[in-house]
Structure 1
Amino acid sequence: MSEPVIKKSELKKACKNCGAELKYKPGTTTVTCEYCGHQEKIDLDTDPIKELPLRQYLKDQGAQVNSEEISILNCKNCGANQHVEENYKSLHCVYCGTPLIREDIKTEQWILPGAVLPFQLTQDEAILRFKKWVKGLWWAPDDLQKATLDPQFTKGLYLPYWTFDAQLYGKYSGARGDYYYETQSYKDSNGRRQTRRVRKTRWIPVNGNIQGFVDDTLINASKQHTGKVPREVALWNLKKLQPFESSFLAGFVTEKYTIPLNDGHLESQEEMRRIANTWARRDIGGDEQRINNLNINLKEETFKHILLPVYISAYRYKNKSYSFFVNGENGSISGKRPYSFWKIFLAVLAGLLLFVLVYLFAQ
């Protein structure tokens, strides 16, 4: 009888002292036992992060080469696909707080992550940032401040992203605009003749070639029907990426990509076209540039599936879901916030009363 296959993405380490599961300690390269305090060093891969050949994976047969099955819980409310550790205590969707039913677990195929950016902030540090941020919000309901006090509302989540690399070659045609100035005479409002310098642009037809290496074009791999991560938070230092090691995921939720590789690749091509446009304008030079035609060709395309860290606090107010986000690497924070009707109403009422009192006093 053959031995069961141990999945690389779900490999768990038990504490040698008490048998409890070891969890990753943010900002370190260790896993820690919450019960007895035992720590173990994570064996970091010294090999370079692996880039996968894109064209091979865009074919069905190629996509299975570096893939495996993982257990997934799908949120019936917002559609997020979440891989949850077996002993995760609070089975609620990290985006909207909807309870997840363990019996609904299913297995799905996914391309193994090639790299992970480990959490640098602990949950306690994220909660402190939430509290400070909430205190600075005007007109926020009191319940919002209560929510930041409860750790169960704040979850650490690894978000899925695609990155694409390519050698970019481009050919463009357009025009270079150089400013020059002419002196013109005119009559002012009093009928007197005056002179002024007027800027004009001299256009010269141009064409040329551009080329260069485009590294780590970052494409969101999750649709995030609700609780979309704000742009201010979705900025990570990709130089901190580590070769994928499942120990970094221990104690956190991992979201499975819902945007297929092919769709991510199409979006990356649009981004690379924008990059090519910038390169072409730089190559043209001058004060202004016009690009009439730009053809690009991408070669030696590679990609990787990566996981990036964020803390999410899901909160419900007046039957609406709100999500707040803290970047798990650099601590930047943002999110949609509710407003308290009564706080605003009382503030407006107080303002009107003050206005009336000032008016009466002035009389």
Structure 2
Amino acid sequence: MHDLSAAQSELQCANCAGQCVYDPAQQALVCTSCATRFGLETDNDDRAAQEFDFDPDASEDDVPVVAETRAHHCQTCGGDVVFVGQTLSERCAYCDGPVILATSDTGYQTKALIPFRVPECDAQAAAVGWVARRWAAPSDLKTVVAKARVAGLYVPFWTFDSNEAVNYWAKYKVRRNKRTVVRKTSGALRITFDDLLVPASPHVTPLIRDGILHDFEPRRLRPYRPGYLAGFGAERHHQSVAEGLAENADDKDLLIRNRIKGHVGKSGVHDVRYITDTSGVRYRRILLPVWILHYQYKGKAMKVVVCGMQGRTYGERPFSWSKLAGYAAALSALTIVFGLGWGAGGLL
């Protein structure tokens, strides 16, 4: 996020001097006063997918900066959400907790983003449709979710590339007559990781992450412009590249172990150990769009997350205990009928 005065200038309507907001349906800035549309395309759009080299032995040239922005600090979860243009929310987009206004925020420059493509009305419809398809959901849940508070948010992510030269040692099991025998094996393989998507914030929960991971398309990346954020909140990047790579270590370890098991090609592979020489690390520092719908059911706070790119929907939901009891009773009755029928057939 860049200088606030420059952002305000970009968001002012050239036709009537009114305030503009980004409209996902039109993929453009739209004036709230005269409805004039302003495209955000640039000659550099094709460069937004550019990746940046990282040398772990050199000092990082990607350093944090202080920007004058409207930053909201959540008093509940500690999240910081900034707004470009007019302040549009006094609740945290992540947890719906109260926020206090600050005027500056220190973070890293955003490299690129994927703009919202799903309008708020479509996100709410997707959330209502999602809860309507939930098994044993309370009958009034659709009505409750339809009234949920909707927050549009750009969340920070990394993409990482790397080349891994892996040497491994493992054990596997084989059957010999009636005995199970453990064998040892070792080997080497090369793994290329491309666009591993990693959350760059502790506030990006698995619910939010899973709502985005399946829909990331680098070709949709656009260079950062304040106009894309007009009307939405955004969390800035606060991690260095080294910190982002450390956050990705566990996921990458799991992926490498799975590749090793596939390379061994035996059943019962276990006790996997390996060393890897990592090279060719490249990264992007990006923002991705998500809708978060906050609702309460019988005093319990829950949320439904809708991907702002394609509308994929995930969420938290309650169960109807009366429906569960009814399903259990029906299943028991079917089991008894089947048992009686089986027994009667055996007597014939």
- TM-score bucket of the superposed structures, by smaller chain: 0.7 to 0.9
Computing the radius of gyration from Cα coordinates, the structure with the larger value is 1
Do the aligned partners of residues 55 and 108 (structure 1) sit closer, same or farther apart at CA in structure 2, a change above 3 Å counting?
A: farther
Counterpart of 1:265? 245
Deviations 1:13-53 (A, max 9, x none): 32222222332222554222233221122223222523233
User: Secondary structure of 1:97's partner?
Assistant: coil
Stretch of structure 1 that moved more, 161-170 or 205-214? 205-214
Change (3 A) 1:320 1:113: same
Provide the aligned C-alpha RMSD in A: 3.7
Contact 1:81/1:257 (8 A) holds in 2:
no
Does structure 1 residue 293 correspond to structure 2 residue 273? yes
Q: Any stretches of 5+ residues in structure 2 without a counterpart?
A: 330-348
Structure 1 70/282 Cα, relative in aligned 2: closer, same or farther at 3 Å?
farther
Secondary structure at the counterpart of residue 93 of structure 1: coil
Aligned to 2:34: 36
Q: Which residue of 2 is the match for residue 159 of structure 1? A: 155
Distance 1:116 1:347, change over 3 A: closer
What letter corresponds to residue 335 of structure 1 in structure 2?
Answer: G
> Which amino acid is 2:163 matched to?
Q
| Structure 1 residue 219: Cα displacement | 1.5
Counterpart CA distance in 1 for 2:10 and 2:175 is 69
* Aligned residue in 2 for 1:53: 53
- State the Cα distance separating 1:76 from its structure 2 match: 0.4
> Per the alignment, do residues 167 and 37 of structure 1 end up closer, same or farther by CA in structure 2, a change over 3 Å counting?
same
CA gap of 1:76–1:83, structure 2 versus 1, over 3 A, is: same
Report how far residue 344 of structure 1 moved.
Answer: 5.1
- CA deviation string 1:297-351 (max 9, x = no partner): 1112222211111111122455543222111122122222356xxx7579979x9
In structure 2, what is the Cα distance between the partners aligned to 1:347 and 1:5? 55
Residue 311 (structure 1) aligned with residue 291 (structure 2): yes
Show the counterpart of 2:116: 119
CA distance in 1 between partners of 2:9 and 2:260 (Å): 47
* Alignment partner of 1:18 out of 16, 19, 30: 16
Structure 1 stretch displaced more, 227-236 or 319-328? 227-236
Distance 1:117 1:83 in 2: 17
Which residue identity lines up with residue 127 of structure 1 in the other structure?
Q
Per-residue deviation, residues 219-250 of structure 1 (Å, max 9, x unmatched): 2122228x763564232223344133223222
TM-score, scaled to structure 2: 0.76
Q: SS at the partner of 1:63? A: coil
Asked if structure 1 preserves the Cα contact closer than 8 Å seen for 2:51 and 2:284, the reply is: yes
Residue number among 336, 344, 350 corresponding to 2:316 in the alignment: 336
Unaligned runs of 5+ in 1: 183-197, 353-363
Q: Could you tell me how far 1:124 is from its partner in structure 2?
A: 0.9
Which letter maps to 2:289?
A: P
Q: 1:273 to 1:346 in 2, by over 3 A?
A: closer
Residues of 2 paired with 1:346 and 1:241: CA distance?
Answer: 43
Is the contact between residue 221 and residue 264 of structure 1 (CA under 8 Å) also seen in structure 2? yes
Match of 1:172 in 2: 168
Alignment of 1:61-72 (within 5 A): 62-64=61-63, 67-69=65-67, 71=69, 72=71
Asked if 2 retains the 8 angstrom alpha-carbon contact of 1:323 and 1:336, the reply is yes
Contact 2:151-2:291 within 8 A present in 1 as well: yes
Matching of residues 125-144 of structure 1 within 5 Å: 125-136=122-133, 138=136, 140=138, 142=140
Q: Distance in 2 between matches of 1:245 and 1:139?
A: 41
SS of the residue 1:124 aligns to? helix
Helix, strand or coil: the match of 2:259? helix
- Report the counterpart of residue 338 of structure 2 in structure 1: none
Judged with a 3 Å threshold, the aligned counterparts in structure 2 of structure 1 residues 237 and 27 are, in CA distance, closer, same or farther, namely farther
Question: Structure 1 residues 116 and 5, CA, compared in 2 at 3 Å: closer, same or farther?
Answer: closer
1:251 maps to which residue? 231
Q: Is the 8 A contact 2:290 2:305 kept in 1?
A: yes
The count of aligned residue pairs is 321
- Kindly state the Cα deviation for residue 126 of structure 1 after the two structures are TM-superposed: 0.8
Tell me: CA distance 1:347–1:124, structure 2 relative to 1, closer, same or farther (3 Å). same
Is the contact between residue 54 and residue 302 of structure 1 (CA under 8 Å) also seen in structure 2? Answer: yes
Q: Quick check: 1:88 aligned with 2:66?
A: no
Amino acid paired to 1:272: K
Equivalent residue number for residue 238 of structure 1: 217
Compared CA separation, residues 223 and 5, structure 1 to 2 (3 A): closer
| SS of equivalent residue, structure 2 residue 99 | coil
**In the TM superposition, what are the counterparts of 1:275-286 in structure 2 within 5 Å?**
275-286=255-266
Paired position in structure 1 for 2:335 = none
